[in-house]
Structure 1
Amino acid sequence: MVLTDRVRTTRRRLLGGGLGVATLAGCGVFRDEPKPPPAPDPLQPVLDEALALAGAYDRVIAAQPALSARLTPLAADHRSHAAELAKLIDTKASAPPPEAVDSVAGLRAAELAAQKTAVAACRAAPADRAGLVGSIAACRATHAEALR
């Protein structure tokens, strides 16, 4: 019986002391600190580049209408990529600031740079995202070749 009383006393002391320590330490339950904003999705740069590329194609087409038949399908690919990426990362697609691309050579350079971004994103992406990002990287490489 003495052993039981001792265990109860020890439990009570332990619980009482534990609550006192939690109260003194402040568990943060009643703090009004805002939660930190969520980290941007790792695919956001791929989405941003898709929109930038589509806008760059539009500017080159506007400046050189004779290239419209050649460049319009490529711009459409980037818009399609942007739409799929926006759905995947659950964000609204918004156009980034326009780049100073005004020629086919500039488009090719932009495609090559964007392709590198997509390859890096594909390597880091989980399996459920890698297929989409890999196909975007391949499409960008194909566009670069088509612009030679």
Structure 2
Amino acid sequence: MITPCPAITTEDVAVPWTLPSRPSRRSLLAGAAGAAGAALLTGCSDDRPAGGEPRIPLERRMRETAVRDSARLLERYDATAAAHPALAARLAPLRAAVAAHSAALALTPAGSPSPSASPSAGTGAAAPAATGEPVPPKPAEALTALADAERSLSEARTIDLAGAPGELARMLASVAACGAVHAYLLTSTPGATS
């Protein structure tokens, strides 16, 4: 048979009570150094979220989107020139500028091409328009449609400036300005004086 334990009261046990001491400077510095080291080690991770998929940096995502948009615009230029061969000479310098913009946007800050950069960008190879929009049958309407595409992309890039990192923001501003000029040139009468 088990005998019950006698009840112990606080009168039976002497518990000294003292104020907790303040941490020493040495322990505070050691704790701060440990926290800083942990933060540095966390910053050296492989930039993968919990799901295991790598995060793509903002600048790279923005560049890839800009390159894709420029590729679509190049396809529109190619489709317009193919549908209206008489406009090809007028469109050639503007198309070349769009190809140059695409190539410049495809370069990462270190100068190497981004992984999604199209190797055929800027080669001048004709491709069907992937936008699904047919080229208008009249040359003037085709130029207006191309100008609308330039203007729309220029406006979108101007909006993207707010979230773009420094160097990319400057490049997007320049390319957006060129797009606005292209839209004007596409709808102005060549050789006309104002």
Q: Determine the C-alpha separation between the residues in 1 that align with 2:108 and 2:161.
A: 14
Deviations 1:43-63 (A, max 9, x none): 332211111111110111111
Q: Determine the C-alpha separation between the residues in 1 that align with 2:134 and 2:89.
A: 18
For structure 2, list consecutive stretches of 5 or more residues without a partner in the other structure: 1-49, 122-128, 136-141, 188-194
**TM norm structure 2:** 0.54
Q: Determine the C-alpha separation between the residues in 2 that align with 1:126 and 1:38.
A: 17
Identity across the alignment (%): 31
Determine whether 1:111 maps to 2:150.
yes
- Flag as ranges the 4+ runs of structure 1 deviating above 6 A: none
Deviations 1:36-86 (A, max 9, x none): 242461233221111111111011111111111110111111111111111
Q: Which residue in 1 is equivalent to 2:98?
A: 78
Q: Determine the C-alpha separation between the residues in 1 that align with 2:167 and 2:150.
A: 24
Conserved 8 A contact 1:46-1:117:
no
Give the match's secondary structure for 1:41.
Answer: helix
Q: Determine the C-alpha separation between the residues in 2 that align with 1:127 and 1:37.
A: 23
1:1-148 aligned at under 5 Å gives the runs 35-39=52-56, 41-88=61-108, 90-94=114-118, 98-99=130-131, 100-102=133-135, 103-148=142-187
Q: Tell me which protein shows more helix as a share of its residues.
A: 1
Conserved 8 A contact 1:56-1:101:
no
Q: Determine the C-alpha separation between the residues in 2 that align with 1:80 and 1:65.
A: 22
Q: Which residue in 2 is equivalent to 1:25?
A: none
Structural RMSD (CA): 2.3
What amino acid is aligned across from residue 53 of structure 2 in structure 1? Answer: P
Q: Which residue in 1 is equivalent to 2:13?
A: none
Aligned length: 116
Deviations 1:111-139 (A, max 9, x none): 11101111112222121212211110001
**TM norm structure 1:** 0.69
TM-superposed deviation, 1:109: 1.1
Larger radius of gyration: 2
For structure 1, list consecutive stretches of 5 or more residues without a partner in the other structure: 1-32
